[in-house]
Structure 1
């Protein structure tokens, strides 16, 4: 039994919990003190380089989440009806962990190739993906700031395909989607905080993705949100080093070949 079982269905939780988690986790970063000593970019760089104001970013994220919730709700509705006659029970913890790992691999694969193609295709980059790169200096609330079509193709469809192929239940999906959202927000937070578990476990982390948002790294480090497997296999991996800045904080620098 889980905490929400008496009040709300797993399908509704799977639809809306990731949205709530997004704003809670991203909001936490937004409300933190400046923490200049841990920033990958100075606040001056953020003000000068970013091409879209915060209110527009918030509106863009809310639009994507509206589409996301609609697709997720329909997906859960269809799968719930198809499983109703099977008296589906929750798998064991080891099985759920395997399903989550499978879903992570599928999501990474889907997002890598769609993301990379949006950079290689000049029309798609100019008219769709460039919206995300208006945040040259990423921050947490802007993690899902995308063109609506990109949000649908990259994140919403990627999540749906991961859910369907992995065979997880709606209850398992609640944990998987919330974890994916937290990881995505963390990758865009712009902070290199000591003890951050994501920086310890994942090579694909805040600094890794920051390289991709830099002009000289835009054709590299496409992988998101979990691993760097496809970048390394297909020659788009750029290693980096973290250098101390004189004015405080860190700078992610591409290591030369």
Structure 2
């Protein structure tokens, strides 16, 4: 039994809940990002954000909305093709769902690592497609899904579809998986190192880890996203870092390689 049962289908929730959650969670971060009490948790100063970023907030919002439109269309097609309205879907035991969840996480990580890395190594793809995401040198939450439309389709949308299909999860389980993936992705771009943040505490691949990738000296490292850093460690693209306090307040993620 889930709260939306009897009101909307699992397929509808799987399509639109992650989008709504993105704006609620990222919007909350955006509202507090520039509040003075949180300055001591920022990985970059507001001055750095304004000076280094090459795109404005309005353009970022438009880019994210475009990606989410494509994402919703693909999700509706995926659920339409894989669902059978003539049969009742029996939800598997929670242990099976947990296993499917883990499989989906590993599949998504694998897909995104290799596609992401190739977009850096291929000069044409980087210049014309992936560089759009790196216009946000100082990441912030709303910009988590700010990508070129083709990258958004290949990296995030197709990666999510493959994770769903390979794991064998039901549409209901996918609601929780895709919402979790959205929360994790937004948090990885939030630009704040917060105490008691569950994502930053449980995952080594977190906002500081991904911040290294957005820095000039880290663009060829820390490709892994959104969950684990397994592929970076296996294939030699892992860049360790120190998280140090800045004199003017806040933190700085400093790479440990030149």
Q: Which residue of 1 aligns with 2:28?
A: 28
Is 2:138 the partner of 1:144? no
Q: How does 1:45-194 map to 2 (within 5 A)?
A: 45-81=48-84, 84-194=85-195
Matched residues in 1 for 2:195 and 2:88: separation?
Answer: 46
Counterparts of 1:139 and 1:76, CA distance in 2: 31
Number of residue-to-residue matches in the alignment: 255
SS at match of 2:43: coil
Deviations along 1:208-232, one digit per CA (max 9) or x if unpaired, are 0000000000000000000000000
The runs of 4+ residues in structure 1 deviating greater than 2 Å are: 84-88
Q: Aligned partners of 2:86 and 2:71: how far apart in 1?
A: 27
TM-score by length of 1: 0.98
| Counterpart secondary structure, 2:223 | coil
Shift of 1:85: 5.0
- Structure 2 residues without counterparts, runs of 5 or longer: none
d(CA) in 2 for partners of 1:74 and 1:253? Answer: 43
In the other structure, the counterpart of 2:11 is 11
- Equivalent position of 2:197 in the other structure: 196
Deviation at 1:86, TM superposition (A): 5.0
**Structure 2 length-normalised TM:** 0.97
Deviation at 1:256, TM superposition (A): 3.1
1-structure distance, mates of 2:201, 2:48: 27
**Matches of 1:162 and 1:8 in 2, distance apart?**
23
